[in-house]
Chains A and B, each alone.
Chain A
Amino acid sequence: MARLLTGLGALLLLGSAVWPAGSAGAQPKPAEPKPSSQDCLACHADKDLKRGAPKPGRRDSLFADEGELKASAHAGLECAACHRTATAPHDSPLPPVQCAGCHDKVRVELGGGVHVSARGQAGAPACASCHGTHDVRRAATMTIEACASCHGKQVQVYRASVHGRSRQRGDSEAATCRSCHGSAHGVLAKSDPRSSTYHLNLPRTCAQCHADPELAKRYNIPIANVYQLYMDSIHGRAVTKSGLLVAANCSDCHGSHDIRPHTDPGSRVFPANVPKTCGACHAGVLAQYAESVHGKAAAKGVSMAPVCTDCHSAHQIRRVEGAPWQLDVIRECGSCHEESLRTYRDTFHGKVTALGMARVAKCADCHGAHTVRALSDPASSVSEANLVATCAKCHPGATARFAEFQPHADHSNKARYPILYYSYLLMTTLLVGTFAFFGLHTLLWLPRSLVERLRRGRAPGGEGPEP
């Protein structure tokens, strides 16, 4: 200990020898009291105070606004609380403030986050980039402006989105940056499997709000159980069960910062835009669909023309190889083609599928699914040229005569199907005639037979007068 003190004394003596008396430190440094804020402001209140030499990434002005500080979260702090090494006056520039000196917990939060790992790169955010320097704001009062200072483009897109607009209307429930990306300090890159916006994690992130049917009710969102539906869908299972990065998650269809309601023509899920949105992954199907009667009509802006979601649904998309979907989609076709569905249900094909067997012909087996074309189109699978081959898919040995079968015949249409009309009429007449005669016969016989039985007694073979 004694030796240490001697050493220190020697050092101080050396110091006094090097630095002329009356300059910066009249007293030895460690003994020097911290300068008060007034000491600092003696120089830094000067608005024109500038850095000696410009430093990249830092502002040139060395002006410190006292008013700003007094209004900030740090109002109660002296300058030296942050600028710990400061002396008044000082010649050499001060080292950057280490916020972690007080906010040690934040340093842990930041650890591994994208905002920290990017440090050292040009334009990487420091604490002050978001929180300000002397005008330090409380986290609770910070807005997306803080994010916008770097992520301007994303914030601009967000402002036009359904979430952004909802916020602007003063709705505190609508998602903002932090709702999806998590706390600013721990924010992770989208490519990081721990990130809330990582492809496989995003559905759960959206579900924080959109799994709540009450929220859907409050905001008139038509599908209340969207998360549950999605999780049971082919996309949801592929993402959550198989971990497929190529399977659609929420943002693949809805967008991320640019989410808009499906009624907005600018939305990715606006009906007219749906084929393009789905086609981003299902390019082959999109190409077929674009050539189909549905696709052409949709491209012309016919609002009745079905797009992908009209048949496949939006969130309940199922495997098309399974019987349940194949049978259910028949009803979907029938929601527009009512007459065809009605006549189909009169045939063996339609009845067997109604009973749950998918092996017989369904709409798409004859007409094609994405390739469906008008009857008048020679390329149609049900055109005159292709019909026999289409029937032969299930009925090997089908002939042109076989293909004369009317799979959508309507026996009530006398003009188009006279033979069927009269066949039906004949059968009905026979049915009604038989039942009318024997119905009457039975009605008359019943009381007579009753009388007969009562007269004869209970036993059929019992005594009784001969008739």
Chain B
Amino acid sequence: MSLAWVNSVMPQLVMTVGLMVLLLVVAFRRSHALAMTLTVLILVVAGALIPQSIASGGEEVFGLIRLDGYGQFFNGLFLLAAIVTVLISFRYLEHRASNCEEFYMLILTATLGAMVMAAATHFATLILGLEILSISLYAMICYPQEGRLPLEAAAKYLVLSGVASTTMLFGMALIYAASGSLSFSALGQPIDSQGDNYYWVGQGMLIVGLAFKLSLVPFHMWTPDVYQGAPAPVTGFVATVSKGAVFAALLRYIVMSDVLSNASVALGISIIAVGSMVVGNLLALLEKNIKRILAFSSIAHVGYLLIALLVVAELDDPGIARETTMVYLAGYFLMTLAAFGVISALSISSNGEDNEQLADYQGLFWRHPILAAVLTTAALSLAGIPLTMGFIAKFYLFAAGVQGTLWILLWALVIGSAIGIYYYLRIVFTMTQSVATDGSMRAYVAPKETVVTAGVLGAALILFGVYPTPLIELVRGLITAFGA
């Protein structure tokens, strides 16, 4: 057996070793700046090793994980999101926690968990990655020592996420009982007709568990509270890395196990998709809290993305589904992180709560033009308006849906987007209005590194919105290099 697989898992190994190094460094010398720098360094090195890892073949390692272009693309995205989260957390944490260093270890473990999930081809690695990710997130959500909301959010997330994990585990057990395998590729069908019922009940429970993590309707109740309660940088991390990892794993599972060939599974997922698009957007209309708006918006966005998943059943080649998911999630990562970057930048000096009410953003265009421009870009991008990457992403979904002839879902996408425009526009409108002169507005000091990070994300949104070809070429290259 060759050692090529070591090369393949190099990014994950660097993360693991880096984690231990950080642990030791913090044990000997507590310095917030040092811990932050070291974390960024580890993430950058891991990211830099990804191309080499892709070049070394992308084979399946021990039948547990496969490090192909698809998985490594997501790993790159997770690392990028982690770097952004570290950069926007730095000043934010300084004002909220006395010991900030451990936070970075949690970011590293959470990212590692996500990286394992995106590559998982086996139930064992799937659940392992998911738990590493989730357990780190509980601690990250309630990391600030002051305030009741983070604690409430963490408790809610802990309980509900735990329920979802156990549901999934039970589902996996049933599938195993019926098919005799835990590997994605080997569990296409139950062994005999007796196992049939177990098998499909198991599949249902597995999908319900994943839908919980993706906060799809009707399993979305926890989302707004957790988004609101968690510190803004962590919310951004939950919205991107956690959802992205689960979705990447779900798509790989769907493609490899071919469960969508069962019409009722496809119908169930379609209903969940339409429900998420419509309910997510409608509930967002009622909110005045920007974090809660983004929570409902993320529900709708994952609902949209399910179109890419459902295309798998309609077309022989899962390439378009992969491509759409990769482009869409890349766009979704950038715009969500940009939005939470702005919220974090504006919430530095507001002790306790974040600046998260819409009213706090009144006149932002005149108080801080750069942050206002970034938030506008992010909002328009989330709404799917051209010039921004959100449009390219939505265009991809349309193109995939039309190819898969999923007309009903496309109508839901049109209706959902139409409703969505209203609340995204309300954010933009609030920012354009004059600043209240009665002194009721809270002051804020936006730290430079947060502003720069958000600015870079905003610029990337426009750049890829106007000229997406490099990204598309990259994604297509990664897919064609590895086949199905």
State yes or no: do A and B come from one complex: no
| Residues of chain B at the chain A interface (Cβ within 8 Å) | none
